[in-house]
Amino acid sequence: MINSEDTKQEFSLELLREGNKAEFARLVETYSNVIYRLGLKMLEDEQDAEDVLQETFIKAYKALPNFHGRSSLSTWLYRIATNEALMVLRKRKNKGIPVSIDEPIELEAGEMEPLQIMDWCCMPEEELMTSEAVDYLDQAVSELPESLRVVFLLRDIDGLSTRETAQVLDLSETAVKTRLSRGRLRLREMLTVYYGERMAEKKEIYDGQRT
């Protein structure tokens, strides 16, 4: 898990606001990894992720003179980066009407259907984390609607708190929790189907060997 503790360095707001290049370079050095990774997970395209990375820091540099430290630097940077990534997603969708991420999510028809109930926790870790399974984990995240995906990425992958995530996305903390819950439950569903198939395959092989 990306440890946000590692990125809690002290920066001189004064120097940053003055446009001090050395201090800004330190900021870029500190946050470029997490921002690039966030872009990659949101957009699944290296070029787009690189664009988001560049745009984030270009905008940050321009906006720093007016940054008053009401939120933390990291929250502020995440906010810029997340908005950049969401803009790319919207452009891709090519909709005329901008989609706000705090639109109420309609409950889909399938949302309250019976859950997949199968306990795959007993599977050994090396089976749960084969390279194929890890690829599937990524794929499952990419299949989440963006409003749920972004919350999941910020909370569970980037380790931001509920409060920080709410600030980044301009949502209430309740909305963050609701979306995280929905995102996690959907991922659980997808993983249950996937691991269920793996378990069934294994059983077939085992049964085949016994006869």
Given the rule CB under 8 A, which residues bind other proteins? 1-2, 21-22, 24-26, 28-30, 32-33, 36-37, 46, 50, 53-54, 57-58, 61, 112, 115, 117-121, 128-129, 134, 137, 141, 156-157, 162, 177-178, 180-181, 184-185, 187-188, 191-192
Structure tokens, 3: 């440890």
Nearer to other proteins, 46 or 204 (CB): 46
**Cβ 210 to other proteins shortest distance, Å:** 27
Nearest CA-CA partner of 178 in 129, 115, 107: 107
Nearer to other proteins, 90 or 178 (CB): 178
Query: Which residues, at least 6 apart from 29, have a Cβ–Cβ distance to it below 8 Å?
Result: none
- Return the residue matching tokens 């891709």: 92
Radius of gyration of the chain (CA): 20
Nearer to other proteins, 168 or 179 (CB): 179
Q: What kind and span of H or E run contains 202?
A: helix 173-210
Nearer to other proteins, 13 or 123 (CB): 123
**Cβ 33 to other proteins shortest distance, Å:** 5
**Cβ 211 to other proteins shortest distance, Å:** 30
In whole angstroms, what separates CA 169 from the centre of its chain? 12
- Return the residue matching tokens 């001090």: 20
**Cβ 123 to other proteins shortest distance, Å:** 9
